[in-house]
Amino acid sequence: MKVQELKHAGLRKWVEEAAALMSPDSVEVCEGGQAEYDRMIQITLDQGLATKLDEKKRPGSVLYRSDPSDVARVENRTYIASESESNAGPTNNWIDPAELKKTMTELYRGSMKGRVMYVIPFSMGPVGSDIAKIGVEITDSAYVVANMHIMTRVGTRVLDVLGSDGFYVPCFHSVGKPLAAGEKDNGKWPCAPMEHKYISHFPETREIWSYGSGYGGNALLGKKCLALRIASVLARDEGWLAEHMLILKITNPQGEAKYITGAFPSACGKTNLAMLIPTLPGWKVETVGDDIAWMKFGADGRLYAINPEAGFFGVAPGTNDESNRNAMVSASKNTIFTNCGLTEDGDIWWEGIGYGAPGSEIIDWKGNKRPSPQKDKSPKGEEIAHPNARFTAPAKQCPCIAAEWEDPKGVPISAFLFGGRRPKTIPLVNQSKGWIHGVFMGSIVGSEVTAAVISDQVGQVRRDPFAMLPFCGYHMGDYFKHWIGLGKKAEAEGKADKLPKIFFVNWFRKNAGDRFIWPGYGENSRVLAWIFDRCDGRGKAVETPIGFLPTPDAIERPAGVSEEDMKEITGVDIEGWKKEIADVRKNHYPKFGDKLPKELYDELDAIESRFNV
Ligand code: GTP
Ligand code: SPV
Ligand code: MN
C-alpha cells in the first residue's frame, strides 16, 4: 500500500516527513498477511541475511545470524527522555529530549539510503479491543517487519481501527546502515556502532525513536518500548498496570481454574513457567502470555490481565523436550530463529537442546564451521548458539495456549509471583503478609544479570525491582507509589480481598557444588499447587519474619531433592536475610531519595525488627 492511500492525515504527514529525513529509495505501508510475510523473508534471503531451514525438519522457518556486536538489548544506550530528569529517575538513562532529538535527527538523516522504508501499523492486544493500543513502526529492516508480523497484529485491519484521527504511538526504527549506490548487505547484518545506538523514549509525547540495532527489544518496538516503557507511563496516568509478567492458567484435579502472573527478570524463566507441563498428576497449566501483562480493574474489583503480544520471542538455549516441550512444538514450524547453530541437515541447534548435533560439522552463530558437538554443552564463550539466541514463534502454535488467550476482557488474576536468579538466601517460595509487604518484596527483587542484555555485569546479582528495572518508563519511586496506591484504593473501596495474593519464588538456589538444588521446570508445578491452595486459604504454612513459608511437608519433594535440601530452600537463612536487609537499606532504597514511599521504609523497619528480637 502507498503512503498516499493512508486515510489518517496525521499519520500520512508523519510518514512523509520521516521519508524526507531518512531518504529511503521507496516507502511501503505494510498490509499484513502471509504473502507479505513470505515476501519479507524472501527479501532477507536475497540480502544473504537468512538461511532457509530444511522444509521437512523445520517447515516455513529461517535462521538469521546477527552481527556479534548486536545480540541483545543495550541498556546503557536506552533512554527515558522525559521533560525533566527527575521523572526518569535514578534507574534510567536520561538526556534532555530536545537535545536527544537533535542528535538522533542527524543520525536519521539519510540513514535509509539504498533501502525500503516499511511502515508497520500494529496493534498490541486484539485488534479493535478497548484495551489494545496501536503503534506505527517505521523501519528499514525486512527482518523487523517479519518479526513484527509474528509478535504483534499487523496491517490494514489496524489502520481501519485507527480511522482518520485515532491515537497511535509513533515509533521510528532504523538499523543505521545506509547503502551506497550499488552496495548490498551481502550477508552482513546491518547495524550501527555501539556509540551510535540509541533506544529512546519520549514519555510525555508517547514517542519511540530507535537507531542502530536490529535485535529483539531494541528493534521490535511493540514489545519492551511500547508495551512496557510507554505503557507503564500510560498505566500510571490511567490507573492500571503494564508489567513484565507471564500469564498462566492453572487447573487443579477438581477442575477449578485460576490465573497467575509472574514477574521474573529477562531470561529468568517466564516462558518456561507459562508453558510448564506439571509433574503433579491431575494438574494442568495453559498459557495466556509469556512476557508482558496489561492489567485493569473490573467493576467487581478484580484485576483482569491481557497479553498484548501475539507471539513468543523466546530464549532458545536450554529449551528442550524435557524442559519445555510446548515451546519446542511452538517453534517446530513457521518460526524465525536468530543466532542459533545450523546443522548439516538444515536444522537449528543450541546448547541444552537435549541432543548432540548430527553430522560432523555445524555452523555456529558467528557463521564459523565447527566440529559437531556430541553432547549439548559447550565451554563458556565458545557456544554454538549465542546465549541470547531466540526463536520468534506464533502464540497460536503453542499446544497449551489457553482458549481465552485473546479474550479482550482479560483473565482475572488470583496471584502475582516475583522472583529472580538467587543462588543463596531467597527461599523456594514465600507468601507476603499483605499487599504492602508484597510491594516491598517486589521492590527488592534481585537477580543475576543474564545474556538478555549486553553488559559486563552478566552473572552478578543486581536489584531489579518488579523485574522492571530496564522497562519502567518513569521514576521507579513513583512506580512503587503507584503499586501502593492501587492497594490503598482497593482497601478504601472495601475490595482489598479481591486483590491478587503476592508470592516470591526462586528456582535457582545452588548448593556448595554450584548445582541447582531445585529441579525446576515441570517440578515448579508443586510450588504452583501450593500457591493455588494458599489463594483459597488452604495450603499449610508457617509465619516467619519474611512471610508465610510452606511447612516442610506442604510441598511434596521431587526426585533428587533430599529432606535436607528441602529444609534449606524452604527455611529462613537468618544471616543471609540480615545482609539482604542491610544492603537494601544502604545501597538500594537510598537511590530513590524522597520518592521512596514511606510505607516501604516502614516495611524495611518492620522486617529488620522481626529479625532483631
Ligand atoms: P525473557 O524472554 O528474556 O524475558 O526470558 P524469560 O523470563 O521468559 O526466561 P525463559 O523462560 O526463556 O528462561 C530462560 C532460561 O532459564 C532458559 O535457559 C531456561 O532453560 C532457564 N530456566 C527456565 N526455568 C527454569 C527453572 O525452573 N530452573 C532452571 N534451573 N532454569 C530455568
Ligand atoms: C527481555 O530481555 O526481557 C526479552 C527479550 O524478553 S527482548 O525482547 O530483547 O527484550
Ligand atoms: Mn522479557
Cβ-contact 125, 247 below 8 angstroms: no
Query: For atom 11 of ligand 1, which residue has the closest CA?
Result: 269
Cell numbers of 505, please? Answer: 519464588
Query: For atom 14 of ligand 1, which residue has the closest CA?
Result: 267
Task: Find the Cα–Cα–Cα–Cα dihedral 123, 126, 132, 134, rounded to 10°.
Answer: 10
First-to-last C-alpha distance (Å) of the chain: 71
Query: For atom 8 of ligand 2, which residue has the closest CA?
Result: 217
Q: Does the pLDDT at position 383 exceed 80?
A: yes
pLDDT in tens, 241-285: 999 999 999 999 999 999 999 999 999 999 999 999 999 999 999
- Across residues 323-344, what is the average pLDDT? 98
Q: Does the pLDDT at position 613 exceed 70?
A: no
Distance 127 CA to ligand 1 centre (A): 30
- Three-state DSSP state, 450: coil
pLDDT of residue 558: 97
Closest ligand (CA of 264): 1
For the chain, counts of helices (H) and of strands (E): 16, 30
Q: How far apart are CA 188 and CA 47, in angstroms?
A: 8
pLDDT in tens, 462-489: 999 999 999 999 999 999 999 999 999 9
Cβ-contact 76, 194 below 8 angstroms: no
Name the residue of 268, 273, 525 whose CB sits within 8 Å of the most ligand 1 atoms, as the mutation to test its pocket: 268
Query: For atom 17 of ligand 1, which residue has the closest CA?
Result: 318
Between residues 613 and 41, the one the model is more confident about: 41
Instruction: Report all structural domains of the chain as residue ranges with CATH numbers, in order of start.
Output: 3-30+74-238 (3.40.449.10), 243-307+405-612 (3.90.228.20), 312-397 (2.170.8.10)
What are the helix (H) ranges across 296-375? 321-330
CB atoms near residue 397 (< 10 Å): 18
Closest ligand (CA of 226): 2
Percent of all residues in the chain with a pLDDT value above 90, rounded to a whole number: 97
CB atoms near residue 179 (< 10 Å): 15
Distance 293 CA to ligand 3 centre (A): 11
Position 375, amino acid: K
Phi/psi at 575 (5° precision): -65, -45
Ligand 2 atom at minimum distance from 216 CA: 9
Distance 246 CA to ligand 3 centre (A): 9
Q: Label the pairing between strands 293-297 and 303-306.
A: antiparallel
Instruction: List pocket residues of ligand 2, CB cut-off 6 Å.
Output: 73, 216-217, 223-224, 266, 291, 313, 452
Q: Label the pairing between strands 390-394 and 153-154.
A: unpaired
Q: What mean pLDDT value characterizes the chain?
A: 97
- Across residues 18-34, what is the average pLDDT? 98
Instruction: List pocket residues of ligand 1, CB cut-off 6 Å.
Output: 264, 266-272, 290-291, 314-315, 317-318, 323, 452, 507-508, 516, 520-521, 524
- Three-state DSSP state, 511: coil
Q: How far apart are CA 433 and CA 534, in angstroms?
A: 12
Structural element, H or E, at residue 299: none
Cβ-contact 420, 446 below 8 angstroms: yes
pLDDT of residue 376: 86
- Across residues 452-469, what is the average pLDDT? 96
Name the residue of 266, 292, 312, 448 whose CB sits within 8 Å of the most ligand 2 atoms, as the mutation to test its pocket: 266
> 370: which strand partners?
362
Q: Does the pLDDT at position 423 exceed 70?
A: yes
Query: For atom 29 of ligand 1, which residue has the closest CA?
Result: 520
pLDDT in tens, 189-231: 999 999 999 999 999 999 999 999 999 999 999 999 999 999 9
Distance 459 CA to ligand 1 centre (A): 14
pLDDT of residue 247: 98
Query: For atom 6 of ligand 2, which residue has the closest CA?
Result: 266
Q: Does the pLDDT at position 130 exceed 90?
A: no
Query: For atom 1 of ligand 2, which residue has the closest CA?
Result: 266
Residues marked active site are found at 268
Distance 367 CA to ligand 2 centre (A): 23
CA nearest 323: which of 381, 266, 274, 377? 274
CB atoms near residue 382 (< 10 Å): 8
Ligand 2 atom at minimum distance from 266 CA: 3
> 79: which strand partners?
93, 200
Name the residue of 220, 272, 524 whose CB sits within 8 Å of the most ligand 1 atoms, as the mutation to test its pocket: 272
Q: Does the pLDDT at position 136 exceed 70?
A: yes
Q: Label the pairing between strands 429-431 and 501-505.
A: antiparallel
Distance 392 CA to ligand 2 centre (A): 12
> Would you call 613 exposed, middle or buried from its count of C-beta atoms within 10 A (0-12, 13-18, 19+)?
exposed
Ligand 1 atom at minimum distance from 317 CA: 18
Q: Which residues contact 380 (CB under 8 A, 6 or more apart)?
A: none
* DSSP conformation letters of 361-416: EEE-TTS-EEEPPSSS---TT--SS-TT-EEEEEGGG-TTB-TTTT-TT-EEEEEE
Ligand 2 atom at minimum distance from 315 CA: 5
Distance 492 CA to ligand 2 centre (A): 37
User: pLDDT band at 37, cuts 50/70/90?
Assistant: very high
